[in-house]
Structure formats: C-alpha cells, structure tokens
Amino acid sequence: MKFTDGFWQLRPGVTALHAQEAYDITETTDTPDGPGLVITAPTMVIAKRGDILNRPVLTTTLSSPAEGVIRVRIAHHTGARWHGGFTLPGGGGSAASVSVSEEGGVLDAGALVARISPGAPWDLSFEVDGRRVTGSGHRAQGYIQLADRAQVDQGIVSNARQGGTAPSASVFVHEQLDLAVGEHIYGLGERFGPLVKNGQTVEIWNADGGTSSEQAYKNVPFHLSDRGYGVLVNDPGHVSYEIGSEAVERVQFSVSGEVLEYFVIAGPTPKDVLGRYTALTGRPPVVPAWSYGLWLSTSFTTDYDEQTVNSFIDEMAARELPVSVFHFDCFWMRELNWCDFEWDPRVFPDPEGMLGRLHEKDLRVCVWINPYIAQRSSLFREAADQGFLVRRADGSVWQWDLWQAGMGLVDFTNPDATAWYQAHLRRLIDQGVDCFKTDFGERIPTDVVWSDGADPERMHNLYTELYNRAVFEVLTDARGEGDAVLFARSATAGGQSMPVHWGGDSTSTFASMAETLRGGLSLALSGFAFWSHDIGGFEGTPDAAVFKRWTAFGLLGSHSRFHGSSSYRVPWAFDEEAVEVTRRFTHLKMQLMPYLYQQGLDAAATGVPLMRPMVLEFPEDPATTHLDRQYMLGSDLLVAPVFSADGVVDFYLPAGEWTSLLSGETVTGGSWRRETHGFDSLPLYVRPGTALPWGARVDSPEYDYHDGLRLRVFSGGTGTTSVTVTNPEGRTVTYDVDLEEITG
C-alpha cells in the first residue's frame, strides 16, 4: 500500500511519523528470545530538552529466536494489544550476544549481525559475513495514520486504503529495507506473475482468484533476496508490500495496528536462507512414495459412478499407464449437501465395497472436502446448535450463498468443533479413504467473532493453517508419519509442514501453463518443498497439443495429477498420441523414483524444495536471475517445459557439459539454446558429473529401489562422488561412484 506522493509529499489523508534517530540504546533480557536491545526513536531529532514534549516515539526491540535470525519489533504504543504472529517451532531462542558502546548497539546472532548507529539519522544495519546486506535507514520506520473512514466514504477526503479489497484500517506501521543495486526479490507465496518481484505491489491476503490474476491462494509474507538474506513479516493478517514500487530503493511492508514484527534471516546462499527459514517456521515431513505416482481424478462437474471409475482405471491399466491414486472430486457427495461426508447413495450405494475393490487394484483413494457446511447438509443444524460454526457479532451463524447455498464455516479455533470435524474424517478413513484434497480455505470473512476471540483480520489468512492441520493430524494418526499426505490449495507461512499443495484453478492454455509454473517456482522460493498442479489446466478443455505438452511437464514434478472442471482428463479422450506421451513420462517418472524419493527425503531434512528455480541452484550465475520457464527437478535434472504446439523452446544451460536424458546428446552450457521437440520429448538435461540412480520398474512408484538399481554416470565430472538411495521401507545405501566411468 502506497502512502507517499513522490519523494517529498504524502498522499491525501495520510499523516506519517518516522523514526528520526536512535535516541538511546539499552540492553534487555525482556524479549521472547532472551538477550536483546531496545532502541527509543523519537519522531523528530531531539535538539533541545523541550523537543521531547508532545513527541511520539517508536520503540524497536532486537532479539534472536534462532542462530542466524534476528527478530525486529517496531511499536508505537508498546502497551497496545498485539494479536501475535505465526507458530514458530524453531524459535526457541539463540545464544545471541549483545553489546552497547559509544559506537552504538550490536546484536550478534552468529551468521547475522544487527548494528544500530547512535543518534541521527536513523540507521539499522544487517550484516552477513561482515557485509551489510540490507538495513533500515532514514524515514524507513513509520507510523501512519489515515483520514477518518467516514470522511472517505462521504468523499470529503481520500486516503491510501480507498478501493482496496482487504479490511479497512486507520493506523499502520511500516518498515522499509534497502534494495541494493542489482538486488532481486523473490517469494511471497504462490504468485503467478513475474518470478522477480521488484516493481510489484503485493497484497498478502488469501483469495480464490485463479492463476491468471494478482491474487493468490497461498500468501506467504516471506521474501528472499539474492543478496544473501530473507525477511519474514511475523503477521498472519494483511501485509501490504511495495517492492521498489513506491520507494524504488527499498522494499516496504506495512501492517495495520500499533506493532510490526519481522525477522531477518541470514544466508549467504538462497539455500541457506530457506534452510533457516523452514527450521524456524516448520520443515515438511517425508511424504509417501506412492504419492509421487500419477493421481487420476473424476474431474469436477462430470457425471460418474463406480462403473465410470472402473472404466477409467481398467483402461489405464490396459494401456500400461500406471495410476497410484484415484481422486473423487466434489460429487462423491450429493449436490447441495457439501460437506456432509456421506457418499451419494444414488451413484455409490456400496462405498466400503467399492473402496475395497479399488485397494485390490493397488490404488490409494483421495476424496475432496472443504471446511464449509451447506445448510441443506444434515450436519448444519448439529454444528450450529453446538457452536461449531463461525458466528456474527449478534450471535447468529455466519452464512452466505457463494459456493454452497446458505453455507456456514467450521470454527477451527474451537477445539470441540475441530474434534467434531475430525471424527467425520476418521469415519471416512475407516471406510477406506487414504487421503484428502483440502479445497478452499481462502474465502474467510472478517465480519465474524471467533470462538477463541481471535482477531478476524488475522484469522483470514491463518484459517488455512488450522483447517489443514486438523486434516493432516487425522491422516498422521491413522497412517503414521511418513504416510500422510494432503492435496491442499490454500496456505500461508508454515503451510509447508503439511504437504502437498497444488496450484489451483488454471485455464487450459499454454499461457496458463506458463503462469502455473511461475506460481510453483515462487512458492518454492517461499519454503514449500512439494507442489503439484492440474495437468492440462482446470477451466475449459485443453486441445490435444496443450494436454500433451502439459502432461510431459506435469509428470516431471514432485506430484502429478490429471484433473479438470467439466471434462474427463483420461489421455485417450484427446488422441492416441496423448496415450503414448502419458506412457512415456509416467514410466520415466517411475524409473526416476530412486532419485526423486531421495530428493524428497533431503527436502524434509533441509527445507530445500524438490522443484527448484534456477536461481536457487545456480545463484552465482547472473543469467539465472529471471528464469521462470525452466527449473531444476532436484539437484541434478534440468527441465524446460514446451509452451507451444510447434515444439520450439528456448532455455538456458549453465556452464558445464550437460547430457540430454532422453536423447543422450551432450551439450556444452553457459549459453542459451533453442530446440524443437515432438510431443514425446522436451529439454531434460542431466547436470555435469551426475551419477543418477535409475530404478528397474515402470509400473509403480513404490518398490524396492535397490532391486535392479542402476547408477547412470554422466560426463562432465571428475574424481568420485557419493550417491545415497533410500527405499520406501527405509533401507539406505550409499554408493561411491567413479565419475570417469561414463555409461550415460
């Protein structure tokens, strides 16, 4: 949100107070993390004693919740009620040291040091390896007051918040951190615009806006800089960013209220930043090997019954197209009853028997759910009477007709409501359901009262965490750690600890395929290790070319699903070549499982995502800065999806000797390359000197990877390397490989 009118002036209706000097700096132990510094910053330079009168101050507190992480809290009135931030499982405090001298104050958190200079102008510096990576300078910390909303509504005066979609507010705190020359900013959730966020205004406010808008299902107030640091704004409510888009030399973030808290997280590499960030906010668990296989869906509004389901599954098997998970979308329940968690008896009269028969075909079963209870559902009155639905201030149940007629919203801040919801899911698991697609979680009202008294603005984004956590707990309890997996749409900071997430409602076009990839890469740079999307797009029906190109792309990711809105997405519905493309790339993914599964284990241990933007894997190469049409699948495979029917694709290969996994051709990198590919191919290159573990089966993602394992050694390396392979049963073997023995 913009407050200024150019460099000198403020926008109409805006009053601003800024930290002008570090008037005094004191040590303290009264922080959430132990030792810290407290800085009092008057909003004018104190030149004489009388200047302290009628003069507001901003109080900044520095502390360290973990090694390499510094917490910054800016408060106007320190006694104001603060709603609290995110749950931080890795924030137990660090062994930071503090000191104050005539030269100012220093907080040393190991890999990151904060240094506050005394006096004017205000200058708070953050240093990695002795180098200033960013800082808060003159007029960076601000307390903002907007004109009275009633005057705005009457047209008497305008203010900076007018016309926005997030809740209105009258006071804000903002911070501005320096942008260096040539610095680039990434992250902020699953955003479908340009990967580099410089020049953008970004609103952290979960919304069901599809993939072709500035809105996002997964808003994460965390940005990563290629200068060697990251920043998490510790606020689950609306956070407004101006990334070099208001003050072009700075990243500004603002929140409503009297307090702003953020964390600066050290690098020096992007992987180091993500490692520390996910250690603080939560690492993803290990996801089961079966979840890496192909998920086949009924699609959304199609007609289907058990016979339809079996026809799909049997035809896939007859065509040697391995399916791991069958997904039942909304209409497994009766229309207008979502959610009552009851199979529609008109089309599924024997759900237990049907699920058992699907299991006999070595399939897992996923069913669609959401956190809404339609008023026609048999559960609506029960939930309303017991206080399990969110209410308005007058005590009535909050309802609306968007999505489901008269639907209410489960109040997951009420432990009894959570237990009630979970009991229905446990009943489905007892029937034979293996996992859940947790749809929605973004359309959360703010004109309501929550059971635990939570701030409605903050609950808008945070609701998805409570919703997905409730479901994930059920799966973990029932299936055990390492075998629980969601298919979730909404998220915020910390959501990476409940995988997997998918990209939401794309259209069935090449342009939407490209924006979907941008969203996944942006989410990866926001700490999410696992990600999927609707192969072929969701809205509309793709033509055969789009479907085939998207199939190759979709099967070269961590998780892969055929799903759509109003049409079936079985490959023979498009043409016979689509069947061949699906067979080629499903088989390829099964053979890559020893590699992919190990990369997933590494992601759970380190927080580094399985699907990686090029800048994450090659931060030292400036050519990778803006690349958003290609990615690394794990550490060693480069994928450049084809976004056209004619098969022409431009992509960049970093320096070294790369080998096409599909053709065996060896190419020297360090430059751009143009290739033309048929539908059964795409640029898929192996990193120089890679020893790639290669599985022996093409029919399932879940097998003993050591049985028949090959290590394919590719050119471009010297000496020896070690390759670790872990099978789904947990048996780990490390192989020492001579890179001079090139087999390809």
Q: What CATH architecture does domain 4-183+227-267 belong to?
A: Sandwich (2.60)
Q: What is the pLDDT of residues 44-64, one digit of tens each?
A: 999 999 999 999 999 999 999
Return d(Cα 225, Cα 77) in angstroms, integer: 31
**Residue 115 contacts residue 264 (beta carbons within 8 Å):** no
Q: What is the pLDDT of residues 583-599, one digit of tens each?
A: 999 999 999 999 999 99
Q: Is 50 exceeded by the pLDDT of residue 155?
A: no
Q: Active site residue: 439, 465, 617, 702, which one?
A: 439
DSSP structural state of residue 52 = G
Cα 246–chain centre separation: 26
pLDDT band (50, 70, 90) for residue 160: very low
Q: What is the pLDDT of residues 301-315, one digit of tens each?
A: 999 999 999 999 999
* Report field, pTM of the whole predicted structure over 0.85: yes
CA angle 120, 124, 128 (to 5 degrees): 145
Q: What is the pLDDT of residues 411-461, one digit of tens each?
A: 999 999 999 999 999 999 999 999 999 999 999 999 999 999 999 999 999
Quick one: which of 682, 589, 671 has its CA closest to 640?
A: 682
Q: Is 80 exceeded by the pLDDT of residue 165?
A: no
pLDDT band (50, 70, 90) for residue 92: confident
Q: Is 90 exceeded by the pLDDT of residue 741?
A: no
Known active-site residue 411? no
Q: Is 90 exceeded by the pLDDT of residue 167?
A: no
Known active-site residue 203? no
pLDDT band (50, 70, 90) for residue 321: very high
Q: Give the per-residue pLDDT at 149.
A: 54
Q: Active site residue: 108, 272, 442, 455, which one?
A: 442
The domains of the chain are located at 4-183+227-267, 625-738
Average pLDDT over residues 206-217: 95
Domain 625-738 fold: Immunoglobulin-like (2.60.40)
Q: Give the per-residue pLDDT at 351.
A: 97
Largest distance between two CA atoms of the chain: 87
Annotate 547-568 with DSSP letters as a single string: HHHHHHHHTSSS-EEE--SSS-
- What share of the chain in percent tops pLDDT 70? 97
Q: Is 70 exceeded by the pLDDT of residue 166?
A: no
Mean pLDDT, rounded, of the chain: 95
Q: What is the pLDDT of residues 368-382, one digit of tens each?
A: 999 999 999 999 999
Average pLDDT over residues 71-84: 94
Return d(Cα 498, Cα 495) in angstroms, integer: 6
Provide the b/e sequence for 17-56 (b: ≥16 CB within 10 Å). Answer: bbbbbbbebeeeeebbbbbbbbbebbbeebeeeeeeeeee
Q: What is the pLDDT of residues 16-43, one digit of tens each?
A: 999 999 999 999 999 999 999 999 999 9
Residue type, 287: V
Q: Is 90 exceeded by the pLDDT of residue 163?
A: no
Average pLDDT over residues 315-336: 98
Q: Give the per-residue pLDDT at 118.
A: 97
Q: What is the pLDDT of residues 249-274, one digit of tens each?
A: 999 999 999 999 999 999 999 999 99
Domains 4-183+227-267 and 625-738 share a fold: yes
Q: Active site residue: 33, 203, 465, 505, which one?
A: 505
Known active-site residue 127? no
Q: Where are the alpha helices (DSSP H) in 237-372?
A: 270-281, 306-318, 351-360
